[in-house]
Structure 1
Amino acid sequence: WSPDSNVLFGPVPELTGYFCCNGIIPGFSQSGGMGLLAAQWMIEGETKYDMFAWDMARYGTWAGKAFTKARVGDQYANRFKIHFPNEERAAGRPVRTRPAYSMQRDMGAVMGLNYGWEHPLWFADEPEVEDTDGFTRQNWWEPVGAECRMLRDTGGIIDISNFAKYVCKGPGAEEWLNAVFANRMPRLVGRSCLTPLISKRGGIAGDFTVTRLGDDEFWIIGSGMAERYHARFFKQVPLPTGTTFESHTEAMCGFNVAGPQSRAMLQRMTNASLANEDFPFMRSARIELAGVEVLALRVSFTGDLGWELHCATEHQAQLYTALIEAGRDIGIGPVGSRALMSLRIEKGYGSWSREYSPEYWPQEVGLDRLIKMDKEFLNKDAVAEVLTQTARESLVLLHLDETDTEASGADATGGEPVFSGNNGVGRVTSGAYGYTVGMSLALAYVKGVGPGDRVDVMVLGRPHKATILDAPPFDADGKRLRG
């Protein structure tokens, strides 16, 4: 049984040609649709609609009997309860923790669940604080804002250990990665690239950062919650002889240190030069930081100046302690994932399972520029057909009028309809308040409208005036990111 929605759906990874679709409680209302989608998957290789929320791939071997029993009981007990945005359920937790977990809890971290892992959502002023739930702004709204402003003003330290991490090495590593991903792999050691993973129907199955660590070694980062899902795609391309592809998600942890003072803080902790001319954007290096060996990548999902720092799991607590100590005297401190979501929306960055999914075409998401049609890769024929067609809709960034959001006490969170006059023109995929730009923001897919147009976003069922922006409100020209 699936612990949350009481359904298992999808191919069983350990078997070939075996599909599972059962456990649906309201069978009369959902069984017909699920049967259709299961048939599509078996016959055509993929469902028409993104079914990840029902997919057994969202659980791994960590979801054992005790966790499953607790979650199923919680599901039955709360099935007809109202569920709120950002709601976190405690049943069966914690099930997976990392070395810094206790330290983060002592610092006031309010934890969330991601693919079984406990991770900081936000930091309260004292330990043992819990989320409040509701459709309006809750007890975390102001603390998350303080974290965002701290990072943009000076800097912040974000635990990104949840990201899926892989290493591909061997004489055929570059060949194999080029056969899997749509972009061309970096040819020089220390260079990184962004690349889509193309689905069976030509949509976006995933987005990854790939870094060349050596002549025959690559570091790949993707969505942590989709690791088992993405394994289906990786297994479709045979590995060349002598080449390996392994998950390092459990073996490695990571932190993103970002903000205008991130370079100054990190430079005090290492002998390696972090100057822009020596360590520019989208570059990487193995360095020693406060006595810990780390793989440093000059990237940041915040859209700000920053580095991702990946270390062995056994050194996570040591590295975290050193980072917190180094940042204390210059006003840099811990930042949770809710602040990260706000910061990435200020920059207009999409996220897998929200803005990126197999339902969306590359040209609708803005990832078509990363597809190299002069090489062979997984599902190339499907995306070639898709790219000949006009985009059905476009991903845009909306600015919701503050008077409307302040009056309702709520921001868009995802799923809200978008109207132009009386016509439905789209829906929100992600929303958050942009604390450092003073805007209530939302990413949305729309059609028939564009930059500068005024629309209505139905937040809590009421129209909220919004304007489609022509550029992200934070660092639109990338000067901070690349500076």
Structure 2
Amino acid sequence: MNADDSLPAQADTVIVGAGIVGCNVAYQLTELGRDDVVVIDQGPLPTTGGSSSHAPGIMFQTSESKILSKFASYSRQLYSALEDSDGTQAYNEVGGIEVARSDERMEYLQRRVEWAKSWGIPDPEILSPEKVGEKLPHVDTDVIQGGYYSPTDGQVSGVVACAALAREAMDRGVKFIPHTRTHDVDIEGGQVQAVVTENGTVECNDVVIATNIWARQLGEKLDVHLPVTPVEHQYTMTEPLEELADNRIEVNDHPLYENYKSVSGDKTDRLLAGPDRPILRDQDNAMYFRTHGDSYGIGSYNHEPIVPDPQELGGNEEDSEQGSVHEFTEYHMNNATHPDRPDKAPRQASDELLPATAEKELEHKYNGMFSESPNGLPVMGPVQQYDGLWTAAAIWVTHAGGAGKALAEWMENGVPRLSDGPIDLRNCNVNRFDEHEGSWDFARDTGGEEYRIVYNIMHPKWVWTDHQRDIRRTPMYHSHKELDAELWAEAGWEEPHWFESNADLLAEYGDQIPDRDGWESKYWSPIEGAEALHVRNKVGLHDMTSFNKMEVVGANAGGFIQRLCTNDMDLDVGDVRYTLICNEAGGVRADITVTRVDDDRYLLLTTGREVGNNHVAWVREQSPDDVIVNDITSSLAAMVCTGPHARDVLSKVTDVDLSDDSFPFFTSQQFFIKNVPVTALRVSYAGELGWELYTPSEYGERLWEHLMDAGEEFDIRPYGNGALNALRIEKGFRLWGEDLHTEHNPYETNLSWAVDLETDFIGKDAVVAAAEDDNIDHKVACLTLDDEDATVLPHRPVLDGDETISYIHSAEYGYTVEACVIYTYLPPEYAEPGTDLEILYEGDCYDATVREEPLLN
């Protein structure tokens, strides 16, 4: 790889970091036609000394996360098309096997089969212990119960892939600059101006921070607090094993050998030797394995989290030690230090599974670093504070190809895409974070916890328990505590999921709530069902303070709202309208209610929960200079009083006429509830008679008390998110981020009634094109399970016989309709009501039927 040490004075795009992420982004940008790209790294090239240099490169594609699985699948295909300079394919498609040592892990491996089917990973299979032994003869099959096999999994050398990607990028004009530390990014007027390095300044329009474990350091200089946490894990390579004697590989004639060895030393002889059999993972013991010729590589996450301070990380300057590698800590290999695995040291677990490694010397060993984020997903996209500043961090070799493709499409064409179409990156967007997540205290602890759980069996509803909690409290927090609320953390907010004080409702509604005893029973209470039924029959009060709230102000606010939204937004003061926001490709960017509260002032309300800040960032990005967009989420307490007796309750505490004639649906009024000022909206996400009530935060607790006192004679009850999810899905109300997101346009989502093609809005051309039936590949569909007592969870495959035709976007039990309700997107020929399909869940097939929506009017 012939890099150029001369730093140009200017460029269109500068990528900081030439590891696997930076090289992928450069490759993809030039593939899309962008020229004048410069990549800068503090280390030598292509072996920069970052995580890509020491990573063993194992690629297990299957994850519960659609994003990670899609990224990994794309990466596999990309790496398979890359070659070393000597013509050797960069990707070793040897297959991957994950073994189970417990009943719980075997159940988990079945879930991996189902996720693989949902995300399109080819030919997933459960193996018996004997079948595992046939593919991996050195595994002691007596200590396992079986395995999960993915034949297209494999291994790629990060350095080889970087060299191949860079070589092709340079052929298209990209300039790579080694041995150059980036000091800062010049910003003027909120716009990127230049990258400042130790060897000079490069003027540019766009900057991509692709430095992974060093990302936080550069971000802090820009007052961008990226919650990217470096963590250490252990990797070792055994001495030559007699059992692998026939596999000895000489690599000293590899074209990258000398370059690699100058950074990584003698372990280069092992790292450049690709595996000759399936890669292996023993998640019960947080360990993974691959062969390096006649040696076995042993990776261990099976130790307590080790989180170095990012400000104390070394660099990769010439003639220095590898900055992403720390000294091996023998103690963590030979003692049980993992908080969740206290009974077995990593070395013991390794020797049990692979007896050939027992008592063998670990010839090469080190603590290698990678980066974690608070939700274990990448941190990527445009930073809302500054035009032209992009991030691509917390990304592994496994996912870097897909992440690089999606980011390059985002930068060049405005929408993240992979080869099969748009991909929604709500959970990866750098703007998803709340302010507290930027603190090092939070990032350190959550990064360490993400490390701890990386190989644990995690339920999709799992939340932090005793860690970084009680950060954001709604004004009603103490009232919730008094009512024994089951509080879960959502974007730092302590939100009720159900109230133990409502347990007495089970005497009334319990016979309408089917028992659960499987995976779906965890993090669930029958009280959720009782609360939902009580709202349908009487009245409930729900704290919705955490929903994202924006205020749009200015003389041109009305014009901006019209351009932003798909519906006709010619509103009178007091009008409320449901609408969509689309991106440039016509994907649904958010669904919101807009209230005109004054001539030049609008209130925008949306959810999105832990990714709701993405909506705020988008609206701000689109706003003209003469319009102000304020995030007022924390400024207003919010609650909804809903149910058949909602009007009765509110009439006791206000003199306002709440009749249908005086206060119609989708209107708002400002008045007092006793002594508390409120803005009241005649809407309800639960789908019953109701009013959303907004008041300055300091009044929130008092308003809650007024309503609870007034509703006592009507048996008003608080209810949590569990009940709300069940209520909304029966009514066919979409949940953005689950059954509504940017991968689908308004016509696919059956929300065309919220689109007015007589108006102009962002993404209109794409939406108009989508309006043609011939352009609709998938349509939203509502299914119910035929077994009225069964419940399933999202992300499992929807089947027509043996063919996977979709996956579950969202699923909740509907206690009023007495069935599990599923929302998915199906090819149009399957979306017709009455169509019979199946759901694969926990190894069993459940009959399901497509229904007319909504199930409840």
Q: How does 1:9-408 map to 2 (within 5 A)?
A: 9-24=380-395, 27-48=396-417, 49-63=423-437, 64-90=439-465, 91-125=467-501, 135-138=519-522, 140-225=524-609, 226-239=611-624, 241=626, 243-388=627-772, 389-402=774-787, 405=790
Deviation digits for residues 369-407 of structure 1 (CA, Å, limit 9, x no counterpart): 2222222222323323333353111111111022671xx
TM-score (norm 2): 0.52
> In structure 2, the residue corresponding to 1:272 is in which secondary structure?
coil
Write the deviation string for residues 298-341 of structure 1: whole angstroms up to 9, x where unpaired.
10001111110111100011011111122222111100011000
User: 3-state DSSP class of the match of 2:808?
Assistant: strand
**How far apart in 2 are the matches of 1:289 and 1:77?**
48
Determine the structure 2 residue equivalent to 1:446.
Answer: 826
TM-score between both structures, scaled by the size of structure 1:
0.91
Paired AA for residue 443 in structure 1: Y
Change (3 A) 1:317 1:369: same
Which residue matches 2:95?
none
CA shift digits 1:84-135 (9 cap, x unpaired): 13111232112211221122112111112222211111111399xxxx9971
Q: CA 1:116 to 1:399, structure 2 compared with 1: closer, same or farther past 3 Å?
A: same
Amino acid at match of 1:30: H
Q: Which residue number in structure 2 is paired with residue 467 of structure 1?
A: 849
Q: Choose 265-274 or 361-370, whichever is displaced more.
A: 361-370
Contact 2:616 2:631 in 1 (8 A): no
Is there any run of 5+ residues in structure 1 with no aligned partner, and where?
Answer: 406-410, 477-483
d(CA) in 2 for partners of 1:342, 1:183 = 27
2:441 counterpart SS class: helix
**Counterparts of 2:410 and 2:846 in 1: how far apart (Å)?**
39
1:426 aligned to which of 797, 802, 806: 806
Contact 1:257 1:306 in 2 (8 A): yes
Post-superposition offset of 1:453: 1.2
Distance 1:424 1:7 in 2: 28
Q: Which moved more, 1:463-472 or 1:376-385?
A: 376-385
Which residue of structure 2 aligns with residue 408 of structure 1? none
SS at match of 1:303: coil
8 A contact 1:194–1:207 mirrored in 2: yes
8 Å contact from structure 2 (residues 638, 692) kept in 1:
yes
The amino acid that maps onto 2:410 is W
- Which structure's relative contact order is higher, taking Cα pairs within 8 Å and 6+ residues apart? 1
The 2-side partners of 1:133 and 1:47 are apart by 40
Alpha-carbon distance change, 126 to 362 in structure 1, aligned in 2, over 3 angstroms: closer
Shift of 1:418: 0.8
SS of residue paired to 1:463:
strand
Q: Would you say the 8 A contact 2:380–2:430 is kept in 1?
A: yes
1:23: how far off? Answer: 2.0
Aligned length: 463
1:354-383, Cα deviation, whole Å (9 max, x unpaired): 111110111010122222222222232332
The answer to whether the Cα contact below 8 Å between 1:62 and 1:96 also exists between their aligned partners in 2 is no
**Alignment match, 1:456:** 838
- Distance (Å, rounded) in 2 between the aligned partners of 1:239 and 1:38: 25
Corresponding residue for residue 481 of structure 1: none
Q: Deviations over 1:133-180 (max 9, x none)?
A: 971324633110110111111011011111111222332111111121
1:402 maps to a residue whose letter is D
| Corresponding residue SS for 1:149 | helix
Q: Which amino acid aligns with 2:649?
A: M
Q: Is the 8 A contact 1:8 1:54 kept in 2?
A: yes
Instruction: Give CA-to-partner distance per residue, 1:434-463, whole Å, 9 cap, x none.
Output: 112211111111122120111101122321
Structure 1 contact 452–469 (Cα < 8 Å) conserved: yes
CA contact (8 A) 1:412 1:430 kept: no
Q: Deviations over 1:206-238 (max 9, x none)?
A: 111011222222211112534431234323434
- Deviation of 1:15 (Å): 2.2
Instruction: Give the distance between the partners of 1:122 and 1:296, measured in 2 at CA.
Output: 25
CA distance in 2, matches of 1:183, 1:394: 20
Change (3 A) 1:28 1:172: closer
SS at the partner of 2:846?
A: strand
Deviations 1:21-53, CA, capped at 9 Å, x for gaps: 1222xx332111111112111111120211122
Aligned residue number for residue 480 of structure 1: none
Closer/same/farther in 2, CA of residues 224 and 333 from structure 1, 3 Å limit: same
Q: How big is the shift at 1:270?
A: 0.4
1:81 & 1:401 partners in 2: Cα distance?
33
Name the residue aligned to 2:171: none
Contact 2:462 2:523 in 1 (8 A): no
* Residues 384, 621 of structure 2: 8 Å contact kept: no
The one-letter code sitting in structure 2 at the alignment partner of 1:452 is G
Contact 1:123–1:335 (CA under 8 A) maintained in structure 2: yes
Aligned-pair RMSD on alpha carbons? 2.0
**Contact 2:476-2:701 within 8 A present in 1 as well:** yes
Rg: which structure is higher? 2
Give the stretch that moved more between structures: 27-36 or 196-205.
27-36
The answer to whether the 8 Å contact 1:362/1:368 transfers is yes
**One-letter identity of the residue aligned with 1:463:** C
Deviation at 1:56, TM superposition (A): 2.1
Cα 1:99–1:383 shift into 2, 3 Å? same
CA–CA distance in structure 2, aligned partners of residues 384 and 276 of structure 1: 36
Stretch of structure 1 that moved more, 262-271 or 9-18: 9-18
Unaligned runs of 5+ in 2: 1-227, 229-372, 418-422, 504-515
CA contact (8 A) 2:834 2:849 kept: yes
Structure 2 CA distance for partners of 1:88 and 1:237, relative to 1, 3 Å: closer
